[in-house]
Chain A
Amino acid sequence: MQPVATTFFFYLLAGLALLGGVLVITRKNAVHSALALILTLLALAGLYLMLYAPFVAGVQIILYAGGIMVLFLFVIMLVSIEKAQREEQFNRQWVVGLLAAVALGALFVFVYVKGSALFPERMMLPPESSNTQEIATYLYGDYLFAFEIASLLLLVAIIGAVVMAKKRI
């Protein structure tokens, strides 16, 4: 599929992602934050599609938007948020935190201004149609060990989550 109007879609999706990000950290109500985060995630999935990474985009939608965020919404509903909504939203060190973040941003700007020449101008056009197969070859070939470790990590996480959340085991 030929990408159409790349520039327009990039700015649209980037704008949505940033809007979502800003809403996530500013909303009082955690449910609204979660919804904003879903917006960001979906926009990022669109960006992955534009970057010729359809498989990652699909995984992003299924796992992130359909799985992890449902878990978040679940927990938000279980813990009562009314009380948290009435309280102070930002902690006492928020000025310091903001300054640190701004410093980090300045660092990014510095790196990108100085080092933009390092990136090759030309971008590869990886064949989209075999994307899934190539990722599979990497996952079950070069990265097999990492893949197994990841599955172990998930097992540990499942057990950990059950132990944490259950009242009586």
Chain B
Amino acid sequence: MPDATKYLSHLELGQPDKTFLDSNELIINMGPQHPATHGVLRVILKLDGEKVLGTECVIGYLHRGVEKIAENRTYTMFNPYVDRMDYVAAVSNGLGYCQAVEKLLNVEAPPRANYIRVILTELNRLASHMLWLGTHALDIGAMTPLFYTFRDREEILKIFEKYCGARLTTHAFRIGGCLYETYEGFEKDVESFVRFVRPKIDEYEGLLTTNRIWLERTKGVGVISGGDCIALGVTGPVLRASGVKWDIRKAQPYANYPEFDFEIPTGQNGDTYDRYIVRMREMRQSLRIVEQAVNKIPEGPIMAKVPKIMKPPVGEIYHSIEAPKGELGYFIVSDGSTQPYRVRVRPPSFVNLQALDLMVRGQLVADVIAVIGTLDIVLGEVDR
């Protein structure tokens, strides 16, 4: 059992703020209105000059009570709400929720639906990573990748729009499968997108991977060990960059991931650069999965037999998937009625954000921005 106090932030707030020079410590407030906090995150920094002594995250500015809302909605009605948590990876949110309820109802989605789900989810992972790369690079000062990634993310959003009519909060899946059949030319669109985006990823890497300044800004910044990641519950690319080979797609397979051939990229150092490399390689793996899925997508029904009025048996269920940001889990308690008794979401961003204090302690102020970027948080998901 690791020593838990290590992970607590020990800011002693409330002491009078002294002037610059005579005090060793300076407390400044970053956010909630700050261009680099990716939304409305407020970080209280305790500084010694430019060195960070500790941080304290203040969250909740975007709290909408999503979990409470679930208690007053039927299972079907709550489905669109989950899209609003991690709004850059709405498809993954929907997949997790639908599969959790399916598990509760003991329903299995038909194979064709699973294929569509995998394709869309992996495309969404790409879109999420692209958005992460653009904003992360912008925080570190490289403004060009932002426009490149947004241009290419647009192609993914176009596919979403053609498929289900929405670009961001897609509500693509229903409990028991998919509502929409793929449109005419879906496979062709996806295939041409894969061909289109492969060289683009090389392009991003060409701008950054061997860039001296990028290396200096990211190598050795925000280091976290695999053990600390596990102790803090950090998942996703952040965990894998620290050398722990843990991906729910492989560890506890869901949908039809076992049918695909892909690798789990890992890093060794657990620094910002490794996390960047891991995500870039993950984007390529996602393309591989999408390619395989499109090639062998079967014909058949896309919706399993689900009752019109869902009354799952009394019980509780925990189901988690590998969202772009880490393990996204849903814990649903059913009391046998049409509405869930309790829904609890395990959001990856929220859990990963805990590591911020450990990662930036002893680093410089500019690194806080790099680390917030590399944690890839979405405040909609942190606050829910």
Interface residues of A (CB under 8 A from B): 78-80, 167
Name which of B17-25, B101-109, B225-233 contacts chain A: B17-25
Q: Report whether B24 and A167 are in contact in the complex, using a CB–CB cutoff of 8 Å.
A: yes
Top 3 nearest A-B pairs by Cβ distance?
A80-B19, A78-B21, A78-B20
How far apart are A77's CB and chain B's nearest CB, in angstroms? 8
Inter-chain contacts of A167 with B (CB < 8 A): 24
How far apart are B18's CB and chain A's nearest CB, in angstroms? 9
Interface residues of B (CB under 8 A from A): 19-21, 24
Bound-state CA distance A85–B20 (Å) is: 18
How far apart are A135's CB and chain B's nearest CB, in angstroms? 40
Bound-state CA distance A79–B19 (Å) is: 8
7 contacts between A and B (CB under 8 A): A78-B20, A78-B21, A79-B21, A80-B19, A80-B20, A80-B21, A167-B24
Inter-chain contacts of A80 with B (CB < 8 A): 19-21
Inter-chain contacts of B19 with A (CB < 8 A): 80
Inter-chain contacts of A78 with B (CB < 8 A): 20-21
Bound-state CA distance A80–B21 (Å) is: 8
Bound-state CA distance A79–B22 (Å) is: 8
Inter-chain contacts of A79 with B (CB < 8 A): 21
Inter-chain contacts of B24 with A (CB < 8 A): 167
Bound-state CA distance A79–B24 (Å) is: 14
How far apart are A29's CB and chain B's nearest CB, in angstroms? 17
Residue of A nearest to B20 (CB): A78
Inter-chain contacts of B21 with A (CB < 8 A): 78-80
Bound-state CA distance A48–B66 (Å) is: 74
Bound-state CA distance A61–B20 (Å) is: 30
Residue of A nearest to B48 (CB): A167
How far apart are B101's CB and chain A's nearest CB, in angstroms? 59
Bound-state CA distance A80–B20 (Å) is: 8
Residue of B nearest to A167 (CB): B24
How far apart are A144's CB and chain B's nearest CB, in angstroms? 41
Bound-state CA distance A86–B21 (Å) is: 19
How far apart are A112's CB and chain B's nearest CB, in angstroms? 45
How far apart are B77's CB and chain A's nearest CB, in angstroms? 59
Bound-state CA distance A167–B51 (Å) is: 14
Bound-state CA distance A167–B22 (Å) is: 10
Residue of B nearest to A165 (CB): B21
How far apart are A88's CB and chain B's nearest CB, in angstroms? 21
Bound-state CA distance A80–B24 (Å) is: 15
Residue of B nearest to A75 (CB): B21
Bound-state CA distance A8–B24 (Å) is: 53
Residue of A nearest to B21 (CB): A78
Bound-state CA distance A167–B20 (Å) is: 13
Bound-state CA distance A78–B19 (Å) is: 8
Bound-state CA distance A78–B21 (Å) is: 6
